[in-house]
Amino acid sequence: MKKKVEELYEKYAGDLHELSKYIYENPELGRGEVKAAKAHMELLKKNGFDIDEGILGIETAFIASYTSKKEGPKVAFLAEYDALPEIGHGCGHNILGAASTGAGLLLKEFVDDIGGEVLVYGTPAEETDGAKVDMAKAGLFDGLDIAMAVHPIGEKHMKSGTSQAMEAIRFEYHGKTAHAAGMPHEGINALDGVITLFNSINAMRQQVKDGERIHGIVSKGGEAANIIPDYAAADFYVRSDTRKNLGELVERVKNCAKGAALATGTQVEISNYEYTFEDLVTNKKLSELYVNNLKRLGVEEIGEGKETGSTDMGDVSYCCPVIHPYFPISKEALTGHSVEFAAATQTEEAKRGMKEAVMAMVLTGIEVIVDEKILGEIKAEFSQIEGK
């Protein structure tokens, strides 16, 4: 089986490398990935997939499917393809998406014999307003038996781990303008509200749990130094290990904002400026299958999964059994969200890592389809997730 999967990979390797390269050279921000989505859909359609475009009214979202004549499990691969401002594909979604589409193409070659359905989801805007959140809320993952995506990383393969639940919060402070030198007592300084917010959060950091993160920027601080600003704003990401703990931490941060307004005589508006992401719950049995298949391919060094950062893959993990492991694109450690990371997606090391990830996903998909006992264990584990 391993030999046949490898032979099939070589059949599609040129198209997958070209797909990754094309998207790397044409970076597009979230929900504007018109070229990237089209390139994925064209490759899938050319190879026998049915395409449902513009999912949920999102122009660059799609679901590609291939159903065999034999009934069987539904196996999905989730493709991402959004870039970062200025940096381009500094998170490697160009090669992540190519790996997912590649896995779909290869598994499709088997399902006519073994049964089942193969799906590739085109999921825009993972970096901001992740379409997986919309898809999850609409129930588009609920009927899946398993879902997988493998993310590029530095020097070695890593198991699927966890991610943090995350909320993106905007704090807008309103005051009153006045001449900063002539009549400062007539003004109410909105920027003082923002500065006091930062100071309050910084004072709170000592009392947060290990691994929790609160980080933000001043997005608006005034117009001129001689005018007391009547408007100032700050954008924050707040992260914790679970949705429950995130809710508690967010409430504390919002209380800091309200206290800052009270202390400075300003008014504060609190809103979300991007989607909230759930924490990622890795299906351990599914992860074990994937890791064993990597080992069958000769991969010896496999690190433990990451436990920080946030992704809309977390929302999917509350809908169906999910893994989100990592494959290497370099022989050295890389800094994520950097131009160096983007460039590394075009190296021979990246091609090797993608091949191993695609083959391991396909072998895992085959096992899930043909072995009812394994699938039963995966589903039994998923049924125990708290709060899904």
Assign 218 to helix, strand or coil.
strand
As a CATH number, domain 2-162+279-382 is 3.40.630.10
Residues 6+ apart with CB under 8 A from 174: 190, 230, 231, 266, 267, 268, 269
At CA 283, angle to CA 309 and CA 108, rounded to 5?
100
Strands (E), 55-150: 62-67, 74-79, 117-122, 146-148
363-385 pLDDT, tens per residue?
999 999 999 999 999 999 999 99
Per-residue DSSP letter, 145: S
Tens-place pLDDT, residues 233-261: 999 999 999 999 999 999 999 999 999 99
Q: What is the per-residue pLDDT for 388? A: 65
- Nearest residue to 318 via CA among 133, 120, 117: 133
Contact indicator for 234, 171 with CB cutoff of 8 Å:
yes
Residue 307: the pLDDT is 77
* Assigned CATH for 165-272: 3.30.70.360
Compute the C-alpha angle 296/301/304, nearest 5°. Answer: 105
What pLDDT does residue 165 have? Answer: 97
Domain segments of the chain as ranges? 2-162+279-382, 165-272
Question: Which of 81, 159, 183, 68 has the alpha carbon at shortest distance from 117?
Answer: 68
Beta bridge partners of 268: 173
pTM (predicted TM-score): 0.92
Low-confidence ranges of the chain (pLDDT < 50): none
Give the whole-angstrom CA distance, residue 251 versus residue 257: 10
